[in-house]
Amino acid sequence: MWKMNKHRRGGCAETPLSRLLVGIMAVMAALICTLGAVDYAYPDVISVYEESLGGALCSTEYAAVRFGAIPLKTVEIRRIDDKRLIPGGMLFGVRCGLEGVLVVGLEDVCDGCCPAKEAGVRVGDVIVALNGTPIADAAALSRAFSEDGAAGRESLLTVMRGEEKKQMKLLAVRAADGVFRAGIWSRDQTAGIGTVTFIDPDTGVFGGLGHGICDSTTGMLLPLARGVTLGVHVAQIVPGSAGTPGELRGTFSGERTGSLMNNTPCGVTGVFTQIPTGQAYPIGRASELSAGTASVLCTLEDGPPREYTIRIVSVGDPCSVSNKNFVIEITDGALLEKTGGIIQGMSGSPIIKDGKLVGAVTHVLVTDPTRGYGVFIENMLSASQMPMEKAS
Catalytic residue set: 211, 332, 347
Q: How far apart are CA 295 and CA 311, in angstroms?
A: 8
Positions of E strands within 200-266: 205-208, 227-238, 246-264
List, in sequence order, every residue forming a beta bridge with 207; answer none if it has no partner.
198, 269
Cα torsion 305, 308, 313, 318: sign? positive
Sort residue 292 into left (φ over 0), alpha (ψ -120 to 50) or beta.
left
Contact 128, 135 (CB under 8 A): yes
Residue 73, strand partner residues = 65
| Max Cα–Cα distance, the chain, nearest Å | 98
Compute φ and ψ for 250, nearest 5 degrees.
Answer: -145, 170
Task: With beta carbons less than 8 A apart as the criterion, state whether 203 and 247 touch.
Answer: no
Which runs of consecutive H residues, i.e. helices, occur in 178-225? none
Q: Coil, helix or strand for 182?
A: coil
Say how far apart CA 157 and CA 168 lie, in whole Å: 5
| Radius of gyration of the chain measured on its C-alpha atoms | 27
Asked if residues 120 and 248 have their Cβ atoms less than 8 Å apart, the reply is: no
